[in-house]
Amino acid sequence: MRAKPARVAILISGTGSNMDAILRARDGINADFVGVISSKPGVEGLHKAEAHGVPTAVIDASAFAVRRDFDDAVADQLEAWGAELIVLAGFMRILGADFVRRFENRVINVHPSLLPLYRGGTAVEDALADGAKETGCTIHVVVEDVDAGPVIIQRPVPIEAGDTRDTLHRRIQAVEHELYPEAVQRICAGEIHLDSLGDDQPGVTALAGTPSG
Ligand code: GAR
Protein backbone atom coordinates (compact mmCIF):
# COMPACT_ATOMS: atom_id res chain seq x y z
CA MET A 1 0.00 0.00 0.00
CA ARG A 2 1.23 3.55 -0.73
CA ALA A 3 2.35 5.06 2.52
CA LYS A 4 0.71 8.45 1.95
CA PRO A 5 -3.08 8.62 1.44
CA ALA A 6 -4.12 9.81 -2.02
CA ARG A 7 -5.98 13.12 -2.09
CA VAL A 8 -9.28 12.31 -3.80
CA ALA A 9 -12.02 14.67 -5.02
CA ILE A 10 -15.42 13.55 -6.31
CA LEU A 11 -17.47 15.40 -8.96
CA ILE A 12 -21.25 14.97 -9.05
CA SER A 13 -24.33 16.51 -10.66
CA GLY A 14 -27.24 14.79 -8.93
CA THR A 15 -28.17 11.92 -6.65
CA GLY A 16 -24.62 11.00 -5.78
CA SER A 17 -25.30 7.33 -5.06
CA ASN A 18 -21.89 6.29 -6.43
CA MET A 19 -20.19 8.99 -4.37
CA ASP A 20 -22.10 7.73 -1.32
CA ALA A 21 -20.96 4.14 -1.99
CA ILE A 22 -17.33 5.28 -2.21
CA LEU A 23 -17.54 7.37 0.97
CA ARG A 24 -19.22 4.48 2.82
CA ALA A 25 -16.20 2.36 1.91
CA ARG A 26 -13.65 5.03 2.86
CA ASP A 27 -12.33 3.20 5.94
CA GLY A 28 -10.85 0.60 3.60
CA ILE A 29 -9.41 3.13 1.14
CA ASN A 30 -6.00 4.75 1.59
CA ALA A 31 -7.30 8.21 0.71
CA ASP A 32 -8.16 11.61 2.05
CA PHE A 33 -11.44 12.69 0.49
CA VAL A 34 -10.62 16.36 0.09
CA GLY A 35 -13.88 17.61 -1.41
CA VAL A 36 -16.98 17.11 -3.54
CA ILE A 37 -17.87 19.48 -6.39
CA SER A 38 -21.40 19.60 -7.76
CA SER A 39 -22.13 21.18 -11.14
CA LYS A 40 -25.69 21.83 -9.93
CA PRO A 41 -26.89 23.58 -6.77
CA GLY A 42 -29.25 21.91 -4.30
CA VAL A 43 -28.78 18.31 -5.44
CA GLU A 44 -29.20 15.32 -3.13
CA GLY A 45 -25.55 14.35 -3.50
CA LEU A 46 -24.44 17.54 -1.74
CA HIS A 47 -26.43 16.61 1.38
CA LYS A 48 -24.92 13.12 1.31
CA ALA A 49 -21.40 14.56 1.05
CA GLU A 50 -22.07 16.88 3.98
CA ALA A 51 -23.40 13.93 6.01
CA HIS A 52 -20.04 12.23 5.41
CA GLY A 53 -18.26 15.37 6.64
CA VAL A 54 -16.58 16.04 3.28
CA PRO A 55 -16.16 19.69 2.15
CA THR A 56 -18.42 20.64 -0.75
CA ALA A 57 -18.34 23.27 -3.48
CA VAL A 58 -21.02 24.16 -6.00
CA ILE A 59 -19.78 25.31 -9.39
CA ASP A 60 -23.03 25.91 -11.22
CA ALA A 61 -22.48 25.00 -14.85
CA SER A 62 -25.55 26.94 -15.93
CA ALA A 63 -23.91 30.16 -14.72
CA PHE A 64 -21.08 29.87 -17.27
CA ALA A 65 -21.63 31.01 -20.85
CA VAL A 66 -18.36 29.43 -21.97
CA ARG A 67 -17.56 25.80 -21.14
CA ARG A 68 -13.86 26.52 -20.85
CA ASP A 69 -14.54 28.97 -17.99
CA PHE A 70 -16.53 26.31 -16.14
CA ASP A 71 -13.72 23.79 -16.64
CA ASP A 72 -11.18 26.32 -15.33
CA ALA A 73 -13.27 27.01 -12.21
CA VAL A 74 -13.49 23.27 -11.50
CA ALA A 75 -9.75 22.85 -12.12
CA ASP A 76 -8.88 25.74 -9.82
CA GLN A 77 -10.98 24.27 -6.98
CA LEU A 78 -9.38 20.85 -7.49
CA GLU A 79 -5.92 22.40 -7.34
CA ALA A 80 -6.85 24.42 -4.25
CA TRP A 81 -7.74 21.11 -2.57
CA GLY A 82 -4.56 19.49 -3.90
CA ALA A 83 -6.59 16.70 -5.51
CA GLU A 84 -4.49 13.90 -7.00
CA LEU A 85 -7.31 11.60 -8.14
CA ILE A 86 -10.57 13.00 -9.56
CA VAL A 87 -13.58 10.69 -9.45
CA LEU A 88 -16.51 11.54 -11.73
CA ALA A 89 -19.67 10.05 -10.22
CA GLY A 90 -22.76 10.97 -12.18
CA PHE A 91 -21.04 14.19 -13.28
CA MET A 92 -23.11 15.12 -16.32
CA ARG A 93 -20.75 17.62 -17.94
CA ILE A 94 -18.21 16.89 -20.63
CA LEU A 95 -14.82 18.19 -19.57
CA GLY A 96 -12.85 19.82 -22.37
CA ALA A 97 -9.50 18.86 -23.83
CA ASP A 98 -7.52 21.41 -21.81
CA PHE A 99 -8.97 20.10 -18.55
CA VAL A 100 -8.26 16.50 -19.52
CA ARG A 101 -4.66 17.39 -20.44
CA ARG A 102 -4.19 19.32 -17.20
CA PHE A 103 -5.24 16.25 -15.17
CA GLU A 104 -4.03 13.53 -17.53
CA ASN A 105 -4.42 10.01 -16.14
CA ARG A 106 -5.89 11.37 -12.92
CA VAL A 107 -9.60 11.48 -13.83
CA ILE A 108 -11.84 8.40 -13.76
CA ASN A 109 -15.52 7.87 -14.58
CA VAL A 110 -18.32 5.34 -14.19
CA HIS A 111 -20.41 4.48 -17.25
CA PRO A 112 -23.49 2.21 -17.40
CA SER A 113 -22.40 -0.15 -20.18
CA LEU A 114 -19.63 -2.54 -21.08
CA LEU A 115 -17.49 -0.02 -22.96
CA PRO A 116 -16.69 0.29 -25.81
CA LEU A 117 -20.36 -0.66 -26.31
CA TYR A 118 -22.97 2.08 -25.88
CA ARG A 119 -20.92 5.20 -25.33
CA GLY A 120 -22.79 8.45 -24.59
CA GLY A 121 -25.70 9.60 -22.51
CA THR A 122 -28.28 6.94 -23.46
CA ALA A 123 -26.28 3.79 -22.73
CA VAL A 124 -29.02 1.94 -20.84
CA GLU A 125 -31.74 2.68 -23.43
CA ASP A 126 -29.37 1.78 -26.25
CA ALA A 127 -28.62 -1.66 -24.80
CA LEU A 128 -32.37 -2.34 -24.45
CA ALA A 129 -33.14 -1.07 -27.95
CA ASP A 130 -30.43 -3.32 -29.31
CA GLY A 131 -32.07 -6.41 -27.85
CA ALA A 132 -28.82 -7.22 -26.03
CA LYS A 133 -28.81 -10.08 -23.51
CA GLU A 134 -26.41 -8.33 -21.21
CA THR A 135 -24.94 -4.95 -20.56
CA GLY A 136 -22.98 -3.80 -17.51
CA CYS A 137 -20.86 -1.04 -16.09
CA THR A 138 -17.34 0.22 -16.61
CA ILE A 139 -14.89 2.28 -14.63
CA HIS A 140 -12.52 3.98 -17.08
CA VAL A 141 -9.88 6.67 -17.38
CA VAL A 142 -11.21 9.94 -18.83
CA VAL A 143 -9.61 11.02 -22.11
CA GLU A 144 -10.59 13.70 -24.61
CA ASP A 145 -13.01 11.43 -26.51
CA VAL A 146 -16.14 10.80 -24.45
CA ASP A 147 -16.27 7.31 -22.87
CA ALA A 148 -13.23 6.22 -24.88
CA GLY A 149 -10.47 5.97 -22.25
CA PRO A 150 -8.75 2.81 -21.06
CA VAL A 151 -10.94 0.44 -19.05
CA ILE A 152 -9.92 0.00 -15.43
CA ILE A 153 -12.57 -2.54 -14.44
CA GLN A 154 -15.93 -3.64 -15.80
CA ARG A 155 -18.64 -6.09 -14.86
CA PRO A 156 -21.57 -7.51 -16.83
CA VAL A 157 -25.24 -7.25 -15.83
CA PRO A 158 -27.81 -9.55 -17.50
CA ILE A 159 -30.80 -7.94 -19.21
CA GLU A 160 -34.04 -9.62 -18.10
CA ALA A 161 -37.30 -10.06 -20.00
CA GLY A 162 -39.56 -7.08 -19.24
CA ASP A 163 -36.69 -4.82 -18.19
CA THR A 164 -37.36 -1.10 -18.57
CA ARG A 165 -34.76 1.64 -18.56
CA ASP A 166 -35.39 2.15 -14.84
CA THR A 167 -35.31 -1.49 -13.71
CA LEU A 168 -32.17 -2.16 -15.73
CA HIS A 169 -30.42 1.02 -14.60
CA ARG A 170 -31.20 0.20 -10.96
CA ARG A 171 -29.56 -3.23 -11.32
CA ILE A 172 -26.56 -1.68 -13.10
CA GLN A 173 -26.21 0.89 -10.33
CA ALA A 174 -26.21 -1.84 -7.66
CA VAL A 175 -23.15 -3.27 -9.41
CA GLU A 176 -21.58 0.19 -9.85
CA HIS A 177 -21.84 0.67 -6.09
CA GLU A 178 -19.58 -2.37 -5.57
CA LEU A 179 -17.28 -1.76 -8.50
CA TYR A 180 -16.45 1.92 -8.04
CA PRO A 181 -15.29 1.72 -4.41
CA GLU A 182 -13.21 -1.33 -5.38
CA ALA A 183 -11.57 0.55 -8.25
CA VAL A 184 -10.82 3.61 -6.09
CA GLN A 185 -9.43 1.39 -3.33
CA ARG A 186 -7.12 -0.46 -5.73
CA ILE A 187 -5.91 2.74 -7.38
CA CYS A 188 -5.21 4.35 -4.00
CA ALA A 189 -3.46 1.18 -2.83
CA GLY A 190 -1.09 1.51 -5.78
CA GLU A 191 -2.29 -1.77 -7.34
CA ILE A 192 -3.58 -0.07 -10.49
CA HIS A 193 -1.56 2.61 -12.27
CA LEU A 194 -3.75 4.76 -14.49
CA ASP A 195 -0.85 5.76 -16.71
CA SER A 196 0.06 2.17 -17.57
CA LEU A 197 -3.36 0.92 -18.70
CA GLY A 198 -2.21 0.48 -22.26
CA ASP A 199 -3.58 -1.55 -25.13
CA ASP A 200 -3.31 -4.81 -23.24
CA GLN A 201 -5.19 -3.27 -20.30
CA PRO A 202 -3.75 -5.28 -17.41
CA GLY A 203 -6.36 -3.80 -15.07
CA VAL A 204 -9.17 -5.61 -16.86
CA THR A 205 -7.52 -8.99 -16.51
CA ALA A 206 -6.70 -8.39 -12.90
CA LEU A 207 -10.08 -7.10 -11.86
CA ALA A 208 -12.75 -8.58 -14.14
CA GLY A 209 -15.54 -9.92 -11.95
CA THR A 210 -18.27 -12.47 -12.33
CA PRO A 211 -21.75 -11.61 -13.63
CA SER A 212 -24.08 -10.43 -10.93
CA GLY A 213 -27.68 -9.40 -10.59
C1 GAR B 1 -24.75 6.33 -12.75
O2 GAR B 1 -25.56 5.22 -12.88
C3 GAR B 1 -23.78 6.39 -13.89
O4 GAR B 1 -23.53 5.16 -14.48
C5 GAR B 1 -24.48 7.29 -14.85
O6 GAR B 1 -25.14 8.24 -14.05
C7 GAR B 1 -25.54 7.63 -12.86
C8 GAR B 1 -25.29 8.59 -11.72
O9 GAR B 1 -25.85 8.13 -10.55
N10 GAR B 1 -23.51 7.91 -15.70
C11 GAR B 1 -23.68 8.10 -17.00
O12 GAR B 1 -24.69 7.80 -17.57
C13 GAR B 1 -22.50 8.72 -17.71
N14 GAR B 1 -22.74 8.82 -19.10
P15 GAR B 1 -25.42 8.72 -9.14
O16 GAR B 1 -25.43 10.24 -9.25
O17 GAR B 1 -26.51 8.24 -8.21
O18 GAR B 1 -24.06 8.17 -8.80
Give the tens place of pLDDT for each residue, 1-52: 557 999 999 999 999 999 999 999 999 999 999 999 999 999 999 999 999 9
Query: In the chain, pLDDT over 90 holds for what percent of residues?
Result: 90
Active site residues: 111
Q: Fill in the DSSP letter of residue 77.
A: H
Alpha helix (H) ranges present in 123-200?
123-129, 165-188
Q: Which amino acid is at 138?
A: T
Residue 198 binned pLDDT confidence (cut-offs 50, 70, 90): low
Report how many helices (DSSP H) and strands (DSSP E) the chain contains, helices first: 7, 7
Q: Hey, what CATH topology would domain 110-213 get?
A: Rossmann fold (3.40.50)
Q: Which CATH number fits domain 1-103: 3.40.50.10800, 3.40.1400.10, 1.10.3720.10, 3.40.50.170?
A: 3.40.50.170
- Our measurement of the distance from residue 197's CA atom to the centroid of its chain's CA atoms, rounded to an integer in Å, reads 17
Query: Ligand 1: residues whose CB is within 6 Å?
Result: 12, 14-18, 89-90, 110-112, 121, 123, 173, 176
Locate CATH 3.40.50.170 in the chain: 1-103, 110-213
CA distance linking residue 161 with residue 13, whole number of Å: 31
CA distance linking residue 161 with residue 49, whole number of Å: 36
Closest CA to ligand 1's atom 11: 111
Span 100-126, pLDDT tens digits: 999 999 999 999 999 999 999 999 999
Average pLDDT, the chain: 93
